[in-house]
Amino acid sequence: MKTFLCFFLVTLAALGGMASAQTVVVDMNQVFQEYIRTQEADRQMQASIQNYRQGQQELQERFRVRQEAFNEMRQRTAAQELDNAERQALAEEAAEMLNELRALEQELRQEDTNRQRQIEEQGRRMRNRIVEEIQGKITELATARNWTLVLDSSATSTNGLPVVLHAMPAADVTGEVIQALNQPILQNRAAGQAPATGTPTETPETEE
């Protein structure tokens, strides 16, 4: 632990000596949460989840109805007043209904697995696009502002310690990054323009 702390102290000292005035920090968690595209993506994800739940409810209702019909058929098969031929016919029909129930149950499980995978993949794609946009904007700002080093103040090391142990308030450019990301979007909306290309907007997944 002592060696680890010494390493961090030496590293910070080197960074400070290299270009302390041009080293800035950004709270990436805050940027991610306050970026308008993130909020839009979250709404899309919620819509996809709601669509998935509605589809599951419809399949479950179909299963419930078929199961009730199967149970009723079994009760009719057990009726004492039936002759052997009638009982045999009902038993065969009940067997067919049981096969349908099993197939529908398998469909429910497969649909659940597929939809969850689709939603997870949709979330990953959206998040990757948003991260790329944020990183691109930070690189653009760093070039324009002559920032030689940008650190994530929300990051933690493998030991659970903050990567940035201390930063002066003047070095925190989180607000500037958020503004640079959101301002063009707000301007486009105010002007009634279409969203810029490369946004994380996706067409909601539909069930076949």
Encode the chain (208 residues) as per-residue pLDDT tens digits.
Answer: 444 343 343 344 444 444 444 899 999 999 999 999 999 999 999 888 888 888 788 877 877 877 777 777 777 766 666 667 776 777 777 778 778 878 878 878 887 888 888 888 989 999 999 999 999 999 999 999 999 999 999 999 888 889 898 889 999 999 999 999 999 999 988 888 655 544 455 544 444 4
Look at residue 102 in the predicted model and tell me its pLDDT: 82
Look at residue 119 in the predicted model and tell me its pLDDT: 86
Taking alpha carbons only, the member of 198, 50, 40 closest to residue 119 is: 50
CB 171 within 8 A of CB 22: no
Look at residue 78 in the predicted model and tell me its pLDDT: 67
CB 176 within 8 A of CB 184: no
Helices 84-145 and 174-191, interaxial angle, to 10°? 110
Look at residue 57 in the predicted model and tell me its pLDDT: 82
CA distance 15 to 27: 18
CA distance 123 to 126: 5
Write the CA distances from 175 to 50, 137, 179, integer angstroms.
33, 13, 6
Look at residue 43 in the predicted model and tell me its pLDDT: 92
Helices 174-191 and 36-77, interaxial angle, to 10°? 80
Indicate the Cα dihedral angle 92, 97, 99, 103, nearest 10°: 170
Neighbours of 150 (CB within 10 A): 19
Token pair recorded at residue 141: 């700002």
List of residues 6+ apart from 31 with CB closer than 8 A: 134, 174, 177, 178, 181
CA distance 201 to 208: 21
Look at residue 196 in the predicted model and tell me its pLDDT: 52
Look at residue 136 in the predicted model and tell me its pLDDT: 95
Token pair recorded at residue 143: 């070039």
